[in-house]
């Protein structure tokens, strides 16, 4: 299959090839589908997944019984072997999570607590699968999705004018994944499009940030599911003058908490912060996005002190930056990117509208809008 067709169906004779996040799957397309054969295949896969989940549960129990120090001594070998077993069990989502465990012992101080947290989430996911018949349908669909089982978009499509909030790629040795965040200007809903390409190849779907298009989106099943499939497009992308409505940092944190109730394995949620300013954190080298607050009457009644050695307005000593009622820390990963300084320069102490992803490690800005009318600035 030509790599340029990644993320689409490519028909060659009697075989249909699907490029998915887990790789390439083949299905025979000669003649009409046999529902009974499909049911038997699904049952066989579920039995394999159950076997793999049961084995993972035992390995997690052995790890805790022997002590977390054994994970540091074993290195990646322990987790690579376990991940391979999950691939054999046709649970690629579990395999990805297991591989991530291997990096935690080398992640610095406090790694035992982080490893225990991730092991607990894996245990919860395993128990969710083993007792899926007792779960609400939406949560059961979420468990299937987290395990990496295939699903199709379902339900009526939502037609709206969709503002492109952000677009960025992540890559591994086998696959490039493109994430595109959209905001419905009429519905107010935020949706995620995923597009895939072979390693080293950009995915085909690309939408310019700050543009809008009128299109149908159909959501995938699952509790709190934001991923959608792009359907019919009625207009091409065109520059937009609108920007999404934002939240305070406290409201954003509350939204993350609400989302975790629906999907305990959620890494991040998309949020737009309104009227925030990047300011230094108390930790050396750390920064945060703080809510801007109108200066008090007392502060306005006296001139701001002047320090010739001060940095840009609002980011250094000797300035009278907007005070903060609350703030969200920026993720350690974002702090290492040049985009941090682009965000600081764009603000200059003036509140911004910032879209990004909020998780337990903090907030990752993806796009920022200046206070005055202007085009959005991508930050990834």
Q: What is the pLDDT along the chain (380 residues), one digit of tens a residue?
A: 444 333 333 333 333 333 444 343 433 334 456 888 888 888 999 999 999 999 999 999 999 998 888 888 777 888 888 999 999 999 999 999 999 898 898 888 899 999 999 999 999 999 999 999 999 999 999 999 999 998 888 889 999 999 999 999 998 778 899 999 999 999 999 999 999 998 888 899 999 999 999 999 999 988 888 999 999 999 999 999 888 999 999 999 999 999 998 899 999 999 999 999 999 998 888 999 999 973 333 334 444 433 333 333 444 434 444 444 699 999 999 999 999 999 999 999 999 999 999 999 999 999 999 988 889 999 98
| Strand, helix or coil for residue 312 | coil
Tokens of 223: 């509790």
Nearest to residue 80, comparing CAs of 58, 65, 64, 59?
A: 59
Helices (H), the chain: 35-66, 69-74, 76-88, 92-101, 111-130, 137-147, 249-262, 297-301, 332-335, 339-347
Residue pair 189/158 in contact (Cβ under 8 Å)? The answer is yes
* Threshold 0.85, pTM exceeds: no
Tokens of 102: 């291997």
234: DSSP letter: S
CB neighbours (10 Å) of residue 31?
7
């Amino acid at each position: 299959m030509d790599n340029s067709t990644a993320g689409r169906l490519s028909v060659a004779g009697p075989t249909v090839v699907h490029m998915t996040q887990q790789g390439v799957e083949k299905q025979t397309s000669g003649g009409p589908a046999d529902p009974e054969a499909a049911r038997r295949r699904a049952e066989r896969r579920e039995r394999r997944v159950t076997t793999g989940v049961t084995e993972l549960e035992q390995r997690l129990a052995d790890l805790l019984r022997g002590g977390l120090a054994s994970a540091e001594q074993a290195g990646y070998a322990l987790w690579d072997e376990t991940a391979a077993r999950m691939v054999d069990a046709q649970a690629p989502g579990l395999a990805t999570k297991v591989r991530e465990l291997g990096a935690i012992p080398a992640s610095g101080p406090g790694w035992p607590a982080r490893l225990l947290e991730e092991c607990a989430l894996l245990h919860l996911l395993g128990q969710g699968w083993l007792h899926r018949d007792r779960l609400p349908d939406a949560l059961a669909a979420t468990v299937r999705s987290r395990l990496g089982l295939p699903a199709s978009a379902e339900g009526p499509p939502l037609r709206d004018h969709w503002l492109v909030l952000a677009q960025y790629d992540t890559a591994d040795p086998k696959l490039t994944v493109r994430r595109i965040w959209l905001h419905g200007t009429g519905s107010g809903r935020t949706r995620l499009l995923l597009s895939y390409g072979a390693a080293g190849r950009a995915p085909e779907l690309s939408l310019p940030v700050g543009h809008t298009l009128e299109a149908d989106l159909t959501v995938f099943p699952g509790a709190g599911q934001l991923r959608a499939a792009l359907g019919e497009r009625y207009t091409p992308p065109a520059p937009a003058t609108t920007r999404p409505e934002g939240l305070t940092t406290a409201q954003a944190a509350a939204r993350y908490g609400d989302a975790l109730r629906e999907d305990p394995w959620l890494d991040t949620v998309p949020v737009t912060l309104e009227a925030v300013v990047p300011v230094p954190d108390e930790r050396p080298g750390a920064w945060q996005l703080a809510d801007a607050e109108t200066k008090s009457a007392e502060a306005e009644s006296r001139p701001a002190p002047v320090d010739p050695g001060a940095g840009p307005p609002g980011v250094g000593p000797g300035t009278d930056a907007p005070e903060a009622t609350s703030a969200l820390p920026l993720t350690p990963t974002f702090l290492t990117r040049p985009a941090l300084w682009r965000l600081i320069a764009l603000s200059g102490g003036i509140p911004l509208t910032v879209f990004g992803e909020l998780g337990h490690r903090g907030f990752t800005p993806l796009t920022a809008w200046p206070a005055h009318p202007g085009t959005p600035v991508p930050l990834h």
